Amino acid sequence: MGGRRAETRLDSLTGLRFFAALVVFAVHLEGAYYFRSPYPSAIRAFIQGPTGVSFFFVLSGFVLTWSHRSGDTATAFIRRRLARIGPLHVATFAIMGVLVVALTISTPAGAAFGSLALLTPWVPGWSGHLVMNIPSWSLGCELFFYLLFPVLYRRVVASSQRRRWLLVVAGLVVVAALAALCAPAAEGSTRLWLLYYFPPTRLVEFVIGIVLALELLDGRLPKVPLWAATVLVVGAYTAAGWAPDSWRQVAVTLVPFCVLIVAAAQSDLAGTPSLLRSRPVVTLGVWSFAFYLVHWPVLLVMARLAPGVLGVRAALAVGVGSLALSVAAAALLHYVVERPLEARLRGAAPPRADDDAPVAGVSPSGRVRRAVPSAAGATVPGGGAPATAPWAPPPAPAAPPPR
């Protein structure tokens, strides 16, 4: 069994990245057009899109732990992570710079610099009025996580099982307390910033991902059927559409997302076939970080070409067209910018597209775990390489922040 696990890739996590990025795309699409629909409740399928960022943050902690290299140094780790998120961030920022000039979009210089330097989530005023490439704010949180990961990993690995789960429970309590204390989380408010953007607040999800990976590697988690986890997530995601704004962003879907990530990893370790492991879905997952960062410039251009509130048919046409263009642009950026520049910055050969998922190998306690993936790490939407984070995940509604 150990040999089988040593050869197993967690492709389902890579596939899930695309769907997390897709819900972020959906909320930004709705934010750009404010669709007119004869079914008022239809909007509920869009407004909880920012939960995708939460998925990416948990996934980032999980995958970085799963692919941790024994003897790795903090400097080498951070260098690889910067090589992972830097090229695409700078490239899409440059694209937005051209659009800002071409479309005469008013953009404060300070906020633009903050976006480039990944400082946006640290400043309430900048988070409340996002500029440049809207989804990139979450990379500021990811960078904060990366800087802390070497220390966090050592501390959590050294902790007992009881302390790890106490850490998870404490994190869930913090999330619920923030949801209660920050209500109502109005757009542009300090409460929304504290609840949704502030990096130390979002660190909770990242740490929970670390714990889940270690517990799974040590064989301590019960088996969860992937279909059951999927049903749970769909139900929670749907319910989040009707939840109060302060609960919608993270609290309602956090536990279901954790269950889904664990179930997907277990499914791959068991060799269970699934749609998430199919080549087309895995390929979309590999492109998901680029998709996460490039979809907003695409939507911005499309909104100028088809301005105004759209009806159902026009909305479907614009939505499908924007999605197709975003996926095509993501594929181009992945092969032209992301892979070659990451390889150059890391001083390694470009990773193959099928190297983007972690594989199994031995946990810190000596039990079965994964080998190192060649494109190690996760990004939101940041969460990035094997099962990355859009991560980046997970993003607030384009212009306005999450509702």
DSSP class per residue in 109-152: HHHHHHHHTT-GGG-HHHHHT--SSGGGHHHHHHHHHHHHHHHH
| The pLDDT value given to residue 247 | 92
Cα separation, 242 vs 82, in Å, equals: 38
Q: Label residue 277 by pLDDT band (50, 70, 90).
A: very high
Domain assignment present for residue 141? The answer is: yes
What is the spatial distance between Cα 351 and Cα 368, in angstroms, rounded to a whole number?
25
Neighbouring C-beta atoms of residue 33, cutoff 10 Å: 21
Of residues 185 and 220, more confidence is placed in: 220
What is the distance between the alpha carbons of residues 94 and 105, in angstroms, rounded to a whole number? 14
Give Cα 156 to chain centroid, integer Å: 22
Question: What CA–CA distance (Å, rounded) separates 326 from 318?
Answer: 12
Round the average pLDDT of the chain to a whole number and report it: 82
Give the CA count within 13 Å in the CB-facing half-sphere of 94: 8
Query: pLDDT tens digits, residue range 37-53?
Result: 555 666 666 778 889 99
Report the phi/psi class of residue 377: left, alpha or beta, with left for phi > 0 and alpha for psi in -120 to 50.
left
- Specify the pLDDT at position 351: 52
What sign results for the dihedral spanned by CA atoms 266, 271, 276, 281?
positive
In a domain, 394, yes or no: no
pLDDT over 70 percentage in the chain: 80
399 assigned to some structural domain: no
Per-residue pLDDT at 282 = 95
- Over residues 87-103, the mean pLDDT reads 93
Q: Span 89-101, mean pLDDT?
A: 93
- pLDDT tens-digit map of 13-44: 999 999 999 999 988 887 766 665 555 666 66
Q: What pLDDT, on a 0 to 100 scale, did the predictor assign at position 144?
A: 96
State residue 391's pLDDT score. 34
Identify the DSSP state of 278: S
Confidence of residue 245 (pLDDT cuts 50, 70, 90): confident
Contact 387, 16 (CB under 8 A): yes
Taking a C-beta distance cutoff of 8 angstroms, is the pair 338, 345 a contact?
Answer: no
pLDDT of residue 326: 96
Average pLDDT over residues 289-296: 95
In a domain, 311, yes or no: yes
Are residues 329 and 171 in contact, defined by beta-carbon separation less than 8 angstroms? no
**More confident call, 126 vs 87:** 87
The answer on pLDDT for 214 being more than 80 is yes
For residue 348, what pLDDT is reported? 60
Single-letter amino acid, residue 322: S
At residue 331, the pLDDT reads 97
Closest CA to 62 of 394, 386, 392: 386
If one counts the domains in the chain, the total is 1
Mean pLDDT of 266-291: 93
250, part of any domain: yes
Note whether residue 154 is domain-resident: yes
Structure tokens at 311: 């009806």
Residue 26 lies in a domain: yes
Name the pTM for this structure. Answer: 0.84
pLDDT of residue 202: 96
Per-residue model confidence (pLDDT) at position 211: 96
Whether 386 is covered by a domain: the verdict is no
Print the domain residue range for 222.
Answer: 2-355
Residue 77 has phi, psi (to 5 degrees) of: -60, -50
- Mean pLDDT confidence for 331-336: 96
**Per-residue pLDDT at 71:** 85
